[in-house]
Chain A
């Protein structure tokens, strides 16, 4: 799977440039946060790494090869939960792995315990709170024991307490040896969680640096403005 290499990635749906020549190497350890304003191309980049979106130009290589058959999991900003129990939803990602029923049940229950949802196993997944839903989505991905976990703004709609719970789980998943890439535009989270930051703006990687250095000494004017909360990306409204 590793290293993963994105080379000269362009993505231009309908002629609009979303990614404009992204080059990125991803090794097998740590947590990387892809930081940037809305519309910077963060989600598209994650979708390409998950094999859900092909670039219009350039290539994505996983250890020099095409998309691996397994080992990648993704958690979306608004995870889809089926009309069934928490337990069923947590084990959903194991279906293609061909595990026995006992193995599936044991792995699912173990993961639910680790995200603090074991006591809700029999409840309906769709009646969970926002934070619980996101923890369930993380459990579903974690149960698959992925080598690479992609998180697309997993805490975007959560309160601070639910955000803290998700961040704790993300760190635990990392300590299990899973490589994590996550997108966020939450600066506090970008300071707390990652080993390194990839700062994306205007469809390009403007800066990549260890998290502590990125926030202490940003190397580019765009990163500096973003950290200071300036809004050069202010949305223009028609008069």
Chain B
């Protein structure tokens, strides 16, 4: 086990091209997913928190339930849509990074929307009356609340990033784990472990852990700074 760890560190130390390519693709897919999911999930969650509409409670329960959506199920559904006989088969996206981004966005949006709804709903309880007295429209209220809660919402974005980087089922199904094209850290770890190349798996695992720790450290310091600056 100690030898495996040394081999893993050596792979990282020598900036192994295979490791770099896998990590680079993982970040591209992860960041694209989080960007898309942020643009969709945050306004969606805020809208559910602020708007009054029939079925709001059911929508909230649905969003909360979708936080635990099994990634393989999402993978299969997106696969069906993108497969040659599916409605978007002509786009030829299956087994490509865009397909992986689509699948992960479907997974991450409900998570970010549900967390955002909770944060914004708490703020809305505090600000709602004052916003209504200023004749704020729904759009103004959502925009102001998202802005006011921006530092709390960093945690939401981090959760989305974590879900995206650690997810394996959906990207395996729609990406196919093709070397040099759709292989990301999680699918590579699964494959290399099965093949017995534990050093590469461990090296990628160390990268994943480091990234998660760095992101959380950054978020912690950002919140501390925001607390000092804005109270």
Q: Which residues of A pack against B, CB within 8 Å?
A: 50, 52, 69-70, 72-74, 76, 79-80, 82-84, 92-93, 95-96, 124, 126-127, 144
B14 in the interface, Cβ–Cβ < 8 Å? no
B126 part of interface (Cβ distance < 8 Å)? yes
Q: Chain B 114-145, CB within 8 Å of chain A: the 1/0 string? A: 00000000000011011011111100100010
Kindly identify which residue among A69, A126, A144 contacts B134, using a CB–CB cutoff of 8 Å.
Answer: A144
Q: Which residues of A contact B137 (CB under 8 A)?
A: 96
Q: How far is the CA of A95 from the CA of B132 in the complex (A)?
A: 12
> How many CB-defined contacts (below 8 Å) exist between A and B?
51
CB distance from B145 to the nearest CB of A (A): 9
Among B130, B136, B140, B230, point to the contact of A83 (Cβ < 8 A). Answer: B230
CA distance A144 to B136 in the complex (A): 13
B230 to chain A: which residues have CB within 8 Å?
83-84, 124, 126-127
Which residues of chain B are near A95, meaning CB under 8 Å?
Answer: 134, 136, 140, 144
List which B172-231 residues lie within 8 A (CB) of chain A: 226, 229-231
Across the interface, do A76 and B144 meet the contact criterion of CB distance under 8 Å? no
Give CA–CA (A101, B147) in the complex, Å.
Answer: 18
- The SS class assigned to the B binding surface is helix
| A70 / chain B contacts, CB cutoff of 8 Å | 135
Alpha-carbon distance between A84 and B135 when the two chains are bound, in angstroms: 20
B148's contact among A50, A74, A79, A82, by CB below 8 Å, is which? A82
Please name the residue on chain A nearest to B134 by beta carbon: A93
Chain A neighbourhood of B135, CB < 8 A: 69-70, 96
User: 14 new A-B pairs (CB below 8 Å) besides A52-B129, A73-B134, A96-B134?
Assistant: A50-B133, A52-B132, A69-B135, A70-B135, A72-B133, A76-B129, A80-B130, A83-B148, A95-B136, A96-B140, A124-B230, A126-B230, A126-B231, A127-B230
Least CB separation from A127: chain B residue: B231
Contacts of A74 in B (CB 8 A): 130, 133
Q: How far in angstroms is the closest Cβ of chain A from B226? A: 7
Does B88 reach chain A (CB closer than 8 Å)? no
Bound: A84/B149 CA distance, A: 10
- 8 Å CB interface, B57-108 against A: none
Residues of B contacting A96 in the complex (Cβ-Cβ under 8 angstroms) = 134-137, 140
Q: Are A76 and B136 in contact (CB under 8 A)?
A: no
State A74–B130 Cα separation when bound (angstroms): 8
A84 contacts B148, C-beta separation under 8 Å: yes
Q: CB distance A80 to B127 under 8 Å?
A: yes
For the complex formed, measure the closest distance between the CB of B15 and the CB atoms of chain A, giving whole angstroms: 41
Collect the chain B residues with CB atoms within 8 Å of residue A50's CB.
Answer: 133
Nearest-Cβ distance from residue B151 to partner chain A, whole angstroms: 7
Q: Contacting B126 at CB < 8 Å: which of A80, A84, A127, A144?
A: A80
Complex CA gap A104/B195 in Å reads 64
| Known A-B contacts A70-B135, A83-B230, A96-B137; A76 and B148 likewise in contact (beta carbons under 8 Å) | no
Judging by beta carbons under 8 Å apart, are A52 and B147 in contact? no
The 3 tightest CB contacts between A and B, nearest first, are A126-B231, A83-B230, A74-B133
B231 engages A92 (CB within 8 Å) = no
Within the assembled complex, what's the spacing in Å between the Cα atoms of A70 and B134?
8
Contacts of B133 in A (CB 8 A): 50, 52, 72-74, 76
